[in-house]
Amino acid sequence: MIVQPDIKIVSKIYESDHSLIYRGIFNSNHQPVILKCLKTDYPTPLQLYRYQQEYTITRHLNLEGTLKAYNLINDQNTLILVVEDFGGESLKLWLKRRSFSIPEFLTLAIQITEKLGKIHQNQVIHKDINPAHIVWNPQTGQLKLIDFSIATQLCQENPHLKSPHSLDGTLAYISPEQTGRMNRVIDYRTDFYSLGVTFYEWLTHQLPFIAVDALELVHCLMAKQPIPPHKINPDIPLTVSDIIMKLMAKTPEARYQSAWGIKADLEICLRQWKNGAIEQFNLGYHDIADRLHIPQTLYGRKSPIQSLLTAFSRIASAPEKHQSLQPPELIIISGYAGIGKSVLVKELYPQITQKRGYLISGKFEQLHRDSPYQGLVAACQDLVQQLLTETQSQLHQWRQKNLAALGENGQVISDVIPDIELVIGKQPPVPELPPKEAQNRLNFLFQSFLQVFCKKEHPLVLFLDDLQWADTGTLQWLKQIMTQGNTHYLLLIATYRDNEVSPTHPVMLMVSQMKKQGVRINSISLSPLRLHQVNQWIADTLKSEGVYTQKLAELVWQKTRGNPFFIKAFLNSLYTNKLLTIDRTSGVWSWNLEQIRAQTITDNVVEFMTRKIQSLSEPTQTVLKLAACLGNPFDLATLSLIYQNSRQATANHLWHAIQTGLIIPTGQNYNGGKINYNPDKLTLTYKFAHDRIQQAAYSLILPEEKPKNHWKIGQILYQNTYPEIRKPTIFQIVNQLNLGITATASQNDRYQLAQLNLVAGKKAKVAAAYQPAWNYLNLGIRCLDTDSWLRQYDLTLALYVHAVEVAILSGNIQDMDNLAAIVLKQATSLLDKVKVYEVKIQAYTAQNQPLEAINTALAVLNLLGIRFPQPIKKFHIIRELLKTKLTLVGKSIAGLIDLPIMTDPNKRVFRT
């Protein structure tokens, strides 16, 4: 029970899973109020944030059709929202108590629609319209919409894929696009769908869909048509039924486009009812959108979409007669940046949902391409986050399955995918292995982890974007999982920019090798849109005929060359700059081609986005430039550190970029509004809406300033990361410092960077990512100076010895020989010289090169002054040296000579 000195609690009127709602009275003036508080004594930062946002948005609206917000009270660990009480009760309660006649329904429906339209006019989308959030007082006639806890002040949101159990809103009422499983953004038209469901339930006394579980209900929302209301209740006029069905159209483009269009049709129905009967008429005659809506339909992509759907249908179906299980398939999608590769993949969402599958995605970054398994790790992290939003019983099942698959080696995976510990718990240490065995173990465990999810009952789609920037370790692993024959029900989708990939690029070599080993490969090449496709898109956008939009389409095509990303940005720019306008009375769009041509609008997409960024305030530009250096995605906590400002100030500067569509909030913690309080305890993440936008922001930084920015970022990350958690983030820190190395002249800084590159190189080596490991170690060596063998002997020796090992493992034989020669020349102890030989022997053994290993071991014996003229004895001696890992140095090894000798010199004695 709430205890407030100035408020008397009268009664509890509602209880949900998370909140308690009470009626109360102010003691001072006896004014009735509603108090809403969290049920838990220790609410999460996200719950507190949502109360803050609800209070802020409600106060911002201050409309006749919404409650007045009086106060937000800090009460110990929680918050209490105090709003007006006008004596109403929810429509949910009224529907249980009484039935409504058609004219009563129409009268109230008109009021609800009008109030919803005014909310939309104030740039707020409710996102949770349902009978519980419509409050009516029949005595006064007042009706209000309540509960803005998940409302957004953005004109549109990009929902991300997550478990149905963690979706925002009331599942039975949310729109298909709110599920995150449609290739659609969320805009104000999502409220029209929820309004349609509310009307449907109101008149039929049942919901449109009844499902066994949440995922089945989500599938119904996306793919199934409800029974029309008039077929359930014959008293419902056909036209009213049609209005409800139009509201509940699967895509926003097919719904009403304005609240005033809905209201107009409802008013016609009410007038006709009063005159005797509701006749059929053309719906939406007065439905005029007051803003530009570019259809999200994929134009010119019918064949690629069908190829995707067909491939997924194969891997998710029963195997063919000659197969025991369904083998994996690869789809490789090529095309220029902005051509629509990632958007195309989202067309799979509905079918994946129908088959109860999982789609996980990761992206490789050009600036941070030395981070091992970057995109693959991101995809696995994505999978873990989806698991964490499922029910406790489901999560327990996944925990058991993963523990069984990983055995005692879970630590190997948690080192690479830190979030997996949230599912399987803290794992015991694992023994170190030689490089080849370590690589085999990691590849096997990665494969075992993903195979847990590659099942007939829940097939897996692994989507990796920008594969042209992937490391060789990732490519090797992909080849292994696709060709070893024990992976099934997996669809691997990879995209790359074909203008950045030659026939000898590692990606093309990997694809060629897969093809030779029998992997089914589907290649999709996306071309720019043709002129007639651009014209159709523009005609649909402007609700016009193609003959009228032809000249405009030609101009747009000329500027954009048919690039879909650029086309959308270009049209939005014309609308923003009022070169494309609508008559709000007739709904007719107009434009002046000469005015558009006269504008200095570049036909270079990066330059175009650069100018858009430059139109923002200086602080917002500064934050975007820092974010571009940081990476994509980026988090508010790190960005505010680099910006050297509070999280709230940093978030507010980002707000302008969000409103213009340059960046997108990601994750479930963002609640769609300007942050009006300090979000220090909340994890907020963002991403650039497209690589080209990040590229444009990065291009705004002067060339001489880029190294300074990266060095500053790396130093701040290093200084603000606790030593115990520095190792998991070492790649992020070192990548920044490496990009900024020219910004410092201090040799001490370079020694520190050399040490960090050593740590990163060793971590990459353990992860069997040999090329990135070589890059880190090589750069660490370049940080040294001519006196490093004297001033930093241990650091220098370690860098060289590890570089020798990684050089051979990554195929750089000449580099290995050169580095080894330097160690043998500079090392001050016999043991250190032997160490580099030991590393070479282990590396040669891992590469299955026994002759080279033998010759290297003989060099050790020569170094020790030991000669064995009998060639036949070499094999046994080398075997013993390898078995003891050269720990015999400093001890007597004369006894080895008398041990039994192998008599078959052709027998291979080195096996991994």
By three-state DSSP, how is residue 674 classified?
coil
CATH of the domain at 649: 1.10.10.10
Residues 130, 196 contacting (CB under 8 angstroms): no
Domain of residue 45, residue span:
7-84
CATH of the domain at 40: 3.30.200.20
Residues 823, 832 contacting (CB under 8 angstroms): yes
- One domain, residues 378 and 466: yes
- One domain, residues 306 and 188: no
Q: Read off the amino acid at residue 37.
A: C
Structure-derived torsion over alpha carbons of residues 511, 516, 518, 523, reported in degrees to the nearest 10: 30
The answer to whether residue 286 sits within a structural domain is: no
Tell me what pLDDT residue 270 has.
96
- One domain, residues 364 and 486: yes
d(CA 47, CA 40): 10
CA-wise closest residue to 562 among 781, 347, 339: 339
Instruction: Give Rg (Cα) of the chain.
Output: 32
Query: Which H/E stretch holds residue 401?
Result: helix 392-406
Cα 672–Cα 199–Cα 148 angle in degrees, nearest 5 = 20
d(CA 883, CA 776): 30
State residue 219 phi and psi, 5-degree precision: -60, -40
- One domain, residues 585 and 673: no
Query: Which H/E stretch holds residue 415?
Result: helix 410-416
Domain boundary among 474, 498, 522: 522
Number of structural domains (the chain) is 6
CATH of the domain at 749: 1.25.40
The answer to whether residue 430 sits within a structural domain is: yes
- One domain, residues 363 and 495: yes
d(CA 73, CA 22): 14
Tell me what pLDDT residue 902 has.
33
- One domain, residues 433 and 491: yes
Domain boundary among 494, 522, 550: 522
The answer to whether residue 709 sits within a structural domain is: no
- Residue 732 CA to its chain's centroid (Å): 18
The answer to whether residue 875 sits within a structural domain is: no
Q: What is the pTM of this model?
A: 0.86
Tell me what pLDDT residue 894 has.
33
Residues 164, 174 contacting (CB under 8 angstroms): no
d(CA 124, CA 118): 9
How far is the first Cα of the chain from the last one, in angstroms, to the nearest whole number?
A: 68
Tell me what pLDDT residue 910 has.
29
d(CA 69, CA 282): 41
Residues 183, 346 contacting (CB under 8 angstroms): yes
- One domain, residues 347 and 446: yes
CA-wise closest residue to 444 among 396, 409, 403, 495: 409
Only one residue has tokens 């629509």, namely 340
d(CA 333, CA 813): 35
Tell me what pLDDT residue 44 has.
82
- One domain, residues 348 and 480: yes
The two tokens of residue 559 are 């500027």
Domain boundary among 583, 603, 623: 603
The answer to whether residue 879 sits within a structural domain is: no
CA-wise closest residue to 721 among 710, 731, 706: 731
d(CA 823, CA 831): 12
By three-state DSSP, how is residue 161 classified?
coil
- One domain, residues 554 and 648: no
- One domain, residues 396 and 500: yes
Q: Read off the amino acid at residue 197.
A: V
Signed CA dihedral, 192, 197, 198, 203: sign only: positive
Tell me what pLDDT residue 491 has.
95
The two tokens of residue 19 are 């909140």
Tell me what pLDDT residue 109 has.
97
The two tokens of residue 882 are 């390898």
What residues in the chain have per-residue pLDDT under 70? Answer: 1-2, 320-323, 668-669, 671-678, 722, 724-728, 846, 866-912
The answer to whether residue 546 sits within a structural domain is: yes
Convert 434-470 to b/e letters by CB count within 10 Å (16 or more is b): ebbebbbbbbebbbbbbbbbbbeebbbbbbbbbbbbb
Residues 110, 270 contacting (CB under 8 angstroms): yes
CA-wise closest residue to 385 among 163, 637, 216, 185: 163
State the DSSP code for 152. Answer: B
- One domain, residues 311 and 451: yes
CA-wise closest residue to 536 among 301, 697, 778, 300: 300
DSSP letters of 316-358?
Answer: TSPPPTT-SSPPPEEEEEE--TTSSHHHHHGGGHHHHHHTT-E
Cα 110–Cα 116–Cα 119 angle in degrees, nearest 5 = 145
Tell me what pLDDT residue 248 has.
97
The two tokens of residue 314 are 């194969």
The answer to whether residue 148 sits within a structural domain is: yes
Indicate the angle between helix axes 770-782 and 793-809, nearest 10 degrees.
Answer: 150
- One domain, residues 380 and 512: yes
CATH of the domain at 114: 1.10.510.10
* Residue 629 CA neighbour count, 13 Å, CB half: 30
